[in-house]
Amino acid sequence: MNALAVLGDEALHLTPSLWAVVWLIVWGPLLLGLVALYFPPHRMLTAAAAYLPVMAATGWLVATIAVSGPRHASLSLGELTLTWYLDGLAILLLLLTQTVLMASAVFAVGYCRTAELPSRPAAWLWPLLGGLSSGLTLIWIAADLLSLYVGLELMGLCAVALMLLPGEAEALAAGMRYLLYALVGSLAWLLGVSLLLGAWGRLDLAGLAAVAEPGAVTTLAVALLSAGLLLKASIFPLHAWLAPVHGAAWIPVSAVHAALVIKASFVILLKLWLLLAPGQMAAAWLLGGLGSLAVLWGGILAWRAQGLKELVAFSTVGQLGYLMLAFPLLIGTSEAVAALAWRGTWLHLAGHALAKAAMFMAVGSLVLSTGRSKLVELAGTSRRLPLPLLVFGLAAVTLMGLPPSAGFTAKWLLLQAAIRGEQWLWIGVLVLGTMLTAAYLFRMFRHSFDEQAPHLTYRRLPLGMDMMALLLALAALALGLVADWPLELLWPWGGRT
Amino acid sequence: MSGAWLPVATLATSLLAATLIFALPERAWLARTSLNLGAALIKLGLVGWMIWGLHRGLEYAVEFPVAAGVSFVLRADALGIMFAGLSSLLWLFTTLYAIGYLEDSPNRKRFFGFFSLCVASTLGISLAGNLFTFLIFYEMLTLSTYPLVVHRGTRKALAAGSVYLRYTLSGGLALLLGVVSLHVLAGDIRFGEREILADLGAEWYPILVGLFVVMILGLGVKTALVPLHGWLPRAMVAPAPVSALLHAVAVVKAGAFGIVRLVYDVYGIELSYQLWLLHGLVAISALTILYASLRALAQQELKARLAFSTVSQVSYIVLGVGLFGPLSTVAALSHLLHQGLMKATLFFCAGNYAEELGIHRIDELDGAGWRMPLTSLAFTVGALGMIGLPPTVGFISKWYLGLGAVEAGMPWLIAVLAASSLLNAAYFLPILQRLWFRPGPAHGQGEWPDERRLGRLETSGWLLWPTLATAAFSLLAGFLASMPFSPLEWATRVASQEYLL
Amino acid sequence: MSGLPFAGVIAAALLWPLWLAMRVPLRGWVTSSSPSRVWLDGWWCTAPLPALALLLPWSEPSLTLSWWLLGGVWSLDDPRRSLLAVAVVMWGLSGLYACGYLASEQHRQNAGDDDAGRRLQYFALFWPLCLAGNLLLIVAEDIASFYLGFATMTFAAYALVVHAGTRDARTGGLAYLVMAVMGEGMILAGLLWAAGSAQTTMLDALREGLVEAEQGVWMAALLWLGFGVKAGVVGLHMWLPLAHPVAPTPASAVLSGVMIKAGLLGWLMTLPLGHAGAGEAFVMLGRVMLVAGLAAAFGAALYGACQPQPKAVLAYSSVSQMGMLTALVAMGLIVPDRWPALLAAVILFACHHGLTKGALFLGVGVSEHPPRLPSWLLWILLVLPGLSLAGVLGSGLASKWAYKTVFYDADHKHLVLWLSLAAVGTTLLMARALWRQWRAERQARHDDLMPLSGAMPVAWLGSLLAAATLPWWLPMGRTAWPPPGELVGLWWPAALGVALAVSIGLAARQRLPGIIETLPPGDLWWPLVRGYRAISAKMVHGLSRLGMSVAAVVRRLQALERWLIDGLGVLARGEQWLGRHSAVLMMASALLLAIIMLAAP
Amino acid sequence: MAILPEALAAALEVMLALLLLLMALACLVDRYLRRACRSFVCFAVLMALTWWQLRAPWLAAVEAVLGALLTGFSLFFALGFGAHHRLPRRDTLPGASPSGVRSWLLPLTWWFMAAAASLLLVDDVGTRLSEALAVLGPLALVGLAIIGLGLWGFVRHRHLLRRLLAFNVLGSGIFLVLAEVAGPRIEAQALILTGLIVALFGSLLGASLIRRLFILDGRLALGSGTGGKE
């Protein structure tokens, strides 16, 4: 397979300069965060400027890899060897991560200032975000289970710690629930990994793919791994911890969390399944079925939700369901179908990440500015807060999968895959999901366009906050039109021979 | 590929205008107005340039790949540019009108921003070169019109907006399904590559028929074919310029234009005929024409009556598409433009009555002709056009439609046309009679519901001049139907391309 | 003379009335503050004058306008020139007459009555518009122009009919409009069908196409009925007796004299008259037309004789006369080879009727406000056109002789007999009308109404003169006069009619008013209206029921939706349950996955 | 190590395993929180010994520091040891549904899965169960048992501190199994090391969360109301 070939090729090792860049991307945010712990940024421009080197490094890395093809690296710690692998998928996820993180960080500066957050916890936001970034980066580039584990845990713990910051009982309870389930999920994952290690004696993905044979142990290991990851990725029916977390966390945290953190578990899950269970069609259909249920469940609950953040959180549950359709469409299908589904899945992931982050930010602006958090109470906001609403609308376009947006192009590809693969069920899911999404998202507009509502008092917010959100939302839209370039980078893909 | 930038520039004009309008503060009336008008004029100029270029045989196309196997294609062909011309022309007038109509009302920034977006979408629809691109702008149109429909923000408007969305989004989904399936079946079909589907072979024909039905369901929602028309009369709560735009150019026409594209440029007229698709279109459009006219007869609200009249009139286009033959194609295409001109006029007038005199119901119109003679004159022109009397454009459409029906061997449709004319007369002539021949407040009997003096003339000039302009156009396009570059002549040119190939 | 001056003349003929129409709102707009504006001034009266130039003997009276509508061709031939001549004369004289007729309204306007001013403005506006439409339809050779002229004339005339604004006027206007719209619908359908099958935009090609088309006779029938509304074919004539009495007298004159001839012209332009190869179906249609025409001729005479109002009587006389004309035209289908000769007779008859009926209508107004003329002279002048219409003298005699000769040649003597009997009816009608006028005149003299002077009598006298001299100046060739020996054969119907009238008048002096009470003008209109009301009430009911049932279904669906939405509250509880059992669920899902994966092949 | 005779080593191992099981049980079933925490510290010390026994001195040291010392500290911190607001001494919350035998059902099946997988690992060619058990060794068996116990505790308990304890016990069980099935591989040790660190941080986070939740509104279990009434 493709990844193996690269790993065996000495010539495709990372060059020293690239190494430096990778290190910068992995640890740079964490370092910046630690600096910010003591010197918290007060202006959004400062934060953006400080983050610029990381962004530049990411850009350069993306450009280099896109031109020269996949690279790999190995890191020896004594006898232990960690392998990292930078292919098109990894660098695109990196780019996505850094974009969302930067936007969220910049947004967070304004948020901390405007929301008048207590300074101590607010300062802790930065290192934790940095840790989150490092964990995510590690996950994207990891090519062995140990690195993945480290990345997953780093990310997970930082994410839980971020929940501590608001200090309100609701947030703490949500954080506690999150912590417990994240830890138990990790243990399930660890159990699965240990079984794999025991059975095949190695942890690097390429090696595992080469030596692992489908058998009872592999199967059990995959089942355990999957259960843990499903819990962490908050896939229906294991999603119940998500909505309280999103509802209680600070807005930039929710944005990053919904956009990236839960996606990480999904990415790992998908990678492992393609490696270890390439023929498990029935189980893949089960996952697809769970995804479908997630689409419906999340959609309906979002439709019934009273609070704005709750709505967005349930929307995340529903949207993740679409991603799960990747399993039945990728596993055991023809090359053409899989190619379409592969592209569609990643495009949807990216589109959703950008749009959901933007939507959270818009929601944050709305809530912060009005001091209200219920949909009904936000009636009549469109006159005074056009920009957040515009952002919300643009993000909604992506989430609904209406053109022109990444969501639309992704849906197009997934539909095409489903039709070509003659998996009619998923077509119904996609259609129904779109309708549900439209139903719950337009509730927001229905209330905000109400001109007969009593007038609220509004607080002025820095423009930069909304601009960040707008940037992300526009990126999600633009991605739908220029999807060809990133999607071509994803190909050939690491799933099969 | 000499002028690839032209379609892009045309599209960008409106998009840019929308962006800038969103960026401007609410109070910047002058900047916004000049931006609106400037963009409208520039766009009209660009479209005019393209028309001239097409006339000389140039080609304007631009495309880039979006994802595996699908491309974003903008291409100006004769059919598309016709629709583009209509939308940019009417945009100018509607913008002018809207500026006057929304004077001193809240949320103008939002309104004009989405207004521009709406026109950008319409333009995109007209310039789209394949179904994927068409779909993009088709859905964009749905989204950008929603804020316009609910603009008033009343309970009724919001409810209408919900209904509108339910219909259009479901329709969009049906269309999406059809387009994707077609894409799977035959790849990225560019408009005009008609032989691809025909060459698929007979075993695919049942599927093609099914897909056609699904896509017509999708397009029929916007076209307001009975029984998918429920949203249209409700969407009347929107401000008058929006109604004019929805009915004359944007939404309804987008659907009709989509049907035209689907039949002529995707399936090909011959394949459609062969698969009995056209017969279905004829049946449903005939039903729509009559049903909607009957419903219009029962309406007492002016705008509601106009709305049902739109449902009926737009089906003329579908009927023209459904009849097999060049004459009916001419009818369909020219009516695309003609109906736009007439309906815009009528809605402008309805808006003028509402703004100046507070009139919403038909029985309040008594004697309004004396109070607002120019508006009423424009209304008369529009109404006569709807009835299909010469020298208005309505007659031209009806003429070709009738000829097309005979040509297609369905002379019974003439009965439908004549019945529709009679029904149109039955619901428009009483209005005219009230306007001109009934004594009313202008004669010292009673008073207007809510009279305001908006200008030195009978009403504000912003409201009056666009109304008169569209009325004049709908007269001139009828009088001078045989002149070069008239809608009829251009439709004939498109039809000849369609049937010569 | 070349084409260019002709184009100028035709443009002037059409545009001048249009300009005069436009002038009304423009004047109202520019000088809105002057209350004593004279709307029907000298300029206004000149509206038809430029059209007189069209009557000159042009060598090539044809104009092609490629940009106009669907491509316009305007031209003139002798029959149309004749009709044009009559139209111009009649419009001109009636316009002049109107200046006097509406002088009282002008006074009222000057005295500050706004309504009178508005009525005058409408009259001043729509009169030339109607005229322009009439002229256009006469010169039009292409279908679109013809239809345009026809429609313009039809709809503009509505304003003339409802001029008075009274209840009766509105009823008359309604009847006129409803019938006109139905006529327009049938014409449109017929034209579209015929033009579609002939693939043409020209009227002559359409005539040819009708013959060749498979269902040509149906198209022809549609066209006959459509134009028949205007021409007052029996069953479609109801608007005439309703609209004529209520319209201002000059308007009645042009309506009855000129405008209903548009229907005739429509027949002449669209039906394949005199076409040898038309086939049996067309002959059948001709027979139907013939029967309808004769029915109209007799029925209208009988019914009209019971009417009290002189203008209603005259309107029924128009129906009767047009019935005779219908019969003549029908013969063009039945015996096509006689058509050229018959055409001349038809045109002569039409022109004669147009002018004579115009004179009669104008005379009604004169008799209501008798001018300062000796009574005997006035009465001679009033009786003269009646006699002419009855075929006793003048153009009436000439036209009667004209068709009589044709039918004698064609060996259709029975038709002549029928037509002569119809002439008895006409005489009866004339007698009735004159009797009522006499009563009115006596009443007027008794009330000592202000006698008229100036425009009205002059116009009336002019129309008398024109009607009397018609055979000498009509462009349609020279008319042959009957030899004295034939006069008895031509006069006996009139004599019979007079005798009948006198005897009936004497015999039924007491009982006639009773009958009259029960026979309103507009005959069939009233039962139709009653029927329509019943049906429309049902239909409105049905429509609202339909609307309500649709709404009910929608409500039902909405209720279902609400119920479903309420039911979704269960899901919120489910969400809580899921939240409590996440750990268990994780184990369960691992187990499930494991089982499925192990069990799957 | 080498000085000890092999039998003694085996006996030690069995004893260690039994003690581990006992401590885990004590830690999980005890409703007196301080005692349970103390049991956990003992359990962690025993784990450190076990790592020593398994020839992983590094792990032993880390376990002693992270597992016993720091985790123990964090647990007592959560209890409010020496602070003003102390958690109630005894957990009075009823167990989560399902109760009784059914509460064991899922953990058991899960445990069964893990056990089967572990057995399968050493039992490729279909040796008899007793042999396989022998090969697997007492520590692995106890590890499996601890996994089962931990799972049960995690599912059954609602008191947050006890759930945290259950998580820690569960983790240790998994480490044991991992160490046994993967042998003395560097990868396994790295995984365990990571796991220990994660467990520590998790415990720290959890302890502080429990503490602050209790201080804020006296909440001891997840759910809407205080006192964990769900």
Q: Give pLDDT tens digits for D55-113.
A: 778 888 888 888 788 888 888 887 777 667 777 777 777 777 666 666 677 777 777 77
CA distance C359 to B54: 61
- C89 shares its domain with C18: yes
Q: How confident is the model at residue D227 (pLDDT cuts 50, 70, 90)?
A: very low
User: What crossing angle do the helices spanning C78-101 and C114-139 adopt, rounded to 10°?
Assistant: 170
- Asked if residue B293 is part of any domain, the answer here is no
Q: How many CB pairs under 8 A join A and C?
A: 87
Lowest mean pLDDT among A212-221, B448-457, B492-501, C173-182: B492-501
pLDDT, tens digit, 9 for 90 and up, residues D127-138: 555 665 666 677
Q: What is the pLDDT of residues C375-390, one digit of tens each?
A: 888 888 888 888 888 8
pLDDT at D221 over 80: no
- Whether residue C328 is contained in a domain is answered as yes
Structure tokens at C46: 């000149």
Q: Which residues contact A347 (CB under 8 A, 6 or more apart)?
A: A406, A409, A410, A413, A479, A480, A483, A486, A487, B67
In chain A, the residue whose alpha carbon lies closest to the alpha carbon of C576 is A240
Query: Which of C490, C505, C523 is the endpoint of a domain?
Result: C523
pLDDT over 90, % of chain C: 24
- Which range (A87-96, B431-440, D28-37) has the least confidence? D28-37
* Tokens 């123990």 sit on residue: D72
User: What is the pLDDT, as a whole number, of residue A429?
Assistant: 92
What does the pLDDT average to over C51-76?
Answer: 84
Residue C553, pLDDT score: 92
Tell me the pLDDT band of C150, cut-offs 50, 70 and 90.
very high
Q: What is the nearest CA distance from C188 to chain B, expressed in angstroms?
A: 7
Contact C69 B437 (CB under 8 A): no
d(CA C283, CA C286): 5
Residue B382 lies in a domain: yes
Q: What is the dihedral of CA A168, A171, A175, A176, to 10 degrees?
A: 60
Instruction: Let me know if residue C34 belongs to a domain.
Output: no
C271/A5: higher pLDDT: C271
pLDDT tens digits for range C67-95: 888 888 898 888 888 899 999 999 999 99
- Taking residues B199-217, report their average pLDDT: 88
The token duo for C92 is 């001109």
Is it true that the peptide bond before A16 is cis, omega within 30 degrees of 0? no
| C417 shares contact with chain A (CB less than 8 Å) | no
Instruction: Give Cα separations from B196 to A423, B178, B187, B471, C111 (angstroms).
Output: 25, 16, 9, 42, 79
What is the structure's pLDDT at B137? 92
The answer to whether C544 contacts B298, with C-beta atoms less than 8 Å apart, is yes
Pairwise CA distance, residues C32 & A128, whole Å: 80
Residues 6 or more apart whose CB falls under 8 angstroms from that of C132 comprise: C14, C17, C18, C21, C149, C152
Residues B167 and B232 both lie in one domain: yes
pLDDT for residue B1: 43
Specify whether C250 is located in the same domain as C305. yes
B366 in a domain, yes or no? yes
Residue after which a domain boundary falls, among B275, B293, B312? B275
**What pTM does this model have?**
0.90
Q: Is B294 on the interface with C (CB under 8 A)?
A: yes
Contact A187 D186 (CB under 8 A): no
- Does B477 fall in a domain? yes
What pLDDT was estimated at residue A6?
55
pLDDT of B285 > 70? The answer is: yes
Q: Quick check: C537 pLDDT over 50?
A: yes
Instruction: Please count the CA atoms within 13 angstroms of the CA of D96 that sit on its side-chain side.
Output: 25
Same domain, C319 and C219: yes
Whether C33 is in a domain gets the answer no
Q: Is pLDDT above 60 for C1?
A: no
Which residue in chain D has the smallest CA separation from A194? D178
What are the residue ranges spanned by the domains of chain A?
Answer: 280-497
The confidence score (pLDDT) of residue A496 equals 38
What pLDDT is attached to residue B196? 80
In this structure, are B11 and B149 located in the same domain? yes
Residue among C576, C587, C594 minimizing CB distance to D106: C587
CB D80 within 8 A of CB D86: yes
Which residue ranges of chain A lie beneath pLDDT 50?
A: 1-2, 494-497
Please tell me if residue D75 touches chain A, with a CB cutoff of 8 Å: no
Residue B145: which domain range? 1-275
Q: ∠ at Cα B307 (B305, B311), nearest 5°?
A: 115
Residue B310 lies in a domain: yes
Does residue B469 have a pLDDT over 90?
yes
Q: Residue C36 domain-assigned?
A: no
C positions 521-580 inside 8 Å of A (CB): 565, 568-569, 571-572, 575-576, 578-580
Assess whether B232 and B271 both reside in one domain.
yes
- The count of domains in chain B is 2
Is C528 domain-assigned?
A: no
C503 vs B45, higher pLDDT: B45
Give the confidence band of C452 by pLDDT, cuts at 50, 70, 90: low
In a shared domain, residues C496 and C584 = no
Average pLDDT over chain B, rounded to whole? 87
- Answer yes or no: do B257 and B336 share one domain: no
Q: Does the CB of A37 have a partner CB in chain D at under 8 Å? A: no
Asked if residue B239 and residue B369 are part of one domain, the reply reads: no
Residue of A nearest to C600 (CA): A282
- The answer to whether residues B17 and B155 belong to one domain is yes
Q: Are residues C203 and C350 in the same domain?
A: yes
- Strand partners of residue C65: C72
**What was the pLDDT predicted at C233?**
87
Strands B70-76 and B60-67: antiparallel
Considering the domain architecture, whether residues B209 and B305 belong to the same structural domain is answered as: no
Do C504 and C551 share a domain, yes or no? Answer: no
Do B207 and B339 share a domain, yes or no? no
Q: Structural domain of residue C52, as residue ranges?
A: 3-28+42-523
pLDDT score, position A229: 92
Touching chains D and B? (3+ Cβ pairs < 8 A): no
User: How does residue C31 score in pLDDT terms, banded at 50, 70 and 90?
Assistant: low
Residue B380 has pLDDT above 60, yes or no: yes
CB-CB under 8 Å, C118 with B443: yes
Q: What single string gives the DSSP state of each residue in C405-461?
A: HHHHHHT-HHHHHHHHHHHHHHHHHHHHHHHHHHHHHHHHHHHTPPPP-THHHHHHH
Determine the residue among B136, B163, B217 to mutate to test chain A binding: the one whose Cβ has the most chain A Cβ atoms within 10 Å: B136
Does C37 reside within a domain? Answer: no
Residues of B in contact with C122 (CB under 8 A): 436
Q: Which residues does chain C have within 8 Å of residue A290's beta carbon, measured at their own beta carbons?
A: 589
Confidence at residue B134, expressed as pLDDT on a 0 to 100 scale: 92
Residue C494: pLDDT band with limits 50, 70, 90: confident
R_g (Cα) of chain A, nearest Å: 21
Work out the pLDDT band at C290, boundaries 50, 70, 90. very high
Name the domain count of chain C. Answer: 2
Ranges A98-112, C207-221, C312-326, D177-191: which has the least confidence: D177-191
Whether residues C238 and C385 share a domain: the answer is yes
Query: B373 and B256, same structural domain?
Result: no
Q: What is the pLDDT of residue A11?
A: 66
Indicate yes or no: CB of D216 within 8 angstroms of CB of A194: no
What would the mean pLDDT of C41-67 be, rounded to a whole number?
Answer: 85
